[in-house]
């Protein structure tokens, strides 16, 4: 029998990852100790929601919570670009680094200052690696063109296209490329040709699309994921609920 492939998925979720991602990693490592095999992190850096990267920290003295986030090059990027294409303002890192001693230990401040990344997704991935969270973990990125070309065709998807000089993630629906502005408001983009290297899945097609490349045997799912995942899209896969963790929405800083 082939060795197990233990997978978990998550979009970049803060420059220090949220504790629920840490819990997924802990669960995957426990399964690996029990079953062997390898761990795969499906890093969904095609996601475009900038709110997902909000990093909530507690002041080390007052315990008051503070929400920090990336600052992006412009409004179009913030609203519509995939996370791998959201360019960071040059002075953002230095500004945040000056605040971090109030919230995290000195070694994490130094890791943060040492990261070299021009976009939100790369910054998160490098920070997670510097924290040791990705040791021995194979990372597969949904924004990677090769991954996309290997993935199965899906009928519900987003397309990364160019608009106003920026890469944006448009929903493809009824032959139209649409940017969602909120509620029932959309911007319809001009028709463009596109190929598999530009396509990423919606929430409902993500599991099937991912599994067509990863071929995992076990999938570590968060509490919210189990509510919408169509487990029939990954026949034969064992779904495992991630371990419980307190303060799941706060940043994991090694405590």
Query: How confident is the model at residue 81, as a pLDDT?
Result: 98
CA distance 195 to 152: 13
CA distance 206 to 234: 11
- Sign (positive or negative) of CA dihedral 120, 126, 130, 132: positive
Categorize the per-residue pLDDT at 228 as very low, low, confident or very high, splitting at 50, 70 and 90: confident
Report phi then psi at 120, rounded to 5: -65, -45
Residue 115 has pLDDT above 90, yes or no: yes
Query: How confident is the model at residue 29, as a pLDDT?
Result: 98
DSSP annotation of 244: P
Residue 26 burial by Cβ neighbours in a 10 Å radius (0-12, 13-18, 19+): middle
DSSP SS3 for 107: helix
Residue 255 has pLDDT above 80, yes or no: no
Contact 53, 83 (CB under 8 A): yes
Query: How confident is the model at residue 8, as a pLDDT?
Result: 98
Domain ranges of the chain: 5-149+210-241
How much is the average pLDDT of 207-235? 92
Residue 182 has pLDDT above 90, yes or no: no
**Alpha helix positions (H), the chain:** 19-35, 75-80, 92-99, 106-114, 120-130, 145-150, 206-214, 225-228
More confident residue, 6 or 225: 6
First to last CA, the chain: 38
Mean pLDDT of the chain: 96
**Fold of the domain spanning 5-149+210-241:** Rossmann fold (3.40.50)
194-199 long-range CB contacts below 8 Å, 24 or more apart? 194/159, 194/160, 194/161, 196/148, 196/149, 196/151, 196/153, 197/145, 197/148, 197/149, 198/148, 198/159, 198/160, 198/161, 199/148, 199/151, 199/154, 199/157, 199/158, 199/159, 199/160
Categorize the per-residue pLDDT at 237 as very low, low, confident or very high, splitting at 50, 70 and 90: very high
The residue behind tokens 């944006």 is 168
Categorize the per-residue pLDDT at 188 as very low, low, confident or very high, splitting at 50, 70 and 90: very high
Categorize the per-residue pLDDT at 53 as very low, low, confident or very high, splitting at 50, 70 and 90: very high
Nearest by Cα to 139 from 88, 89, 84: 84
Residue 1 has pLDDT above 80, yes or no: no
Categorize the per-residue pLDDT at 66 as very low, low, confident or very high, splitting at 50, 70 and 90: very high
The residue behind tokens 């990261």 is 115
Contact 244, 24 (CB under 8 A): no
CA distance 200 to 171: 10
More confident residue, 181 or 68: 68
């Amino acid at each position: 029998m082939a060795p197990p492939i233990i997978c978990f998925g998550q979009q970049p979720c803060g420059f220090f990852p949220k504790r629920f991602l840490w819990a997924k990693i802990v669960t995957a490592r426990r399964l690996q100790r029990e079953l062997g095999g390898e761990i795969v992190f499906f890093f969904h850096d095609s996601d475009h929601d900038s709110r997902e990267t909000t990093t909530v920290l507690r002041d080390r003295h007052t315990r008051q919570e503070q929400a920090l986030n990336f600052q992006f090059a412009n409004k179009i990027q913030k609203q519509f670009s995939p996370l791998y294409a959201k360019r960071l303002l040059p002075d953002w890192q230095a500004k945040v680094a000056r605040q971090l001693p109030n919230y995290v230990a000195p070694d994490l401040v130094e890791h943060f200052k040492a990261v070299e990344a021009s976009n939100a997704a790369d910054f998160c991935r490098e920070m997670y690696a510097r924290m040791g969270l990705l040791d021995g973990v194979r990372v597969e990125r949904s924004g990677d063109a090769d991954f996309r070309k290997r993935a199965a065709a899906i009928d519900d998807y987003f397309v990364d296209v160019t608009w106003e000089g920026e890469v944006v993630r448009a929903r493809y629906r009824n032959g139209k490329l649409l940017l969602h502005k909120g509620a029932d408001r959309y911007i319809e983009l001009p028709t463009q040709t596109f190929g598999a290297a530009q396509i990423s899945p919606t929430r409902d097609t993500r599991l099937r699309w991912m599994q067509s490349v990863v071929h995992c045997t076990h999938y570590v799912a968060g509490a919210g994921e189990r509510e919408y995942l169509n487990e029939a899209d990954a026949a034969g896969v064992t779904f495992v609920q991630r371990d419980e963790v307190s303060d799941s929405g706060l940043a994991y800083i090694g405590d």
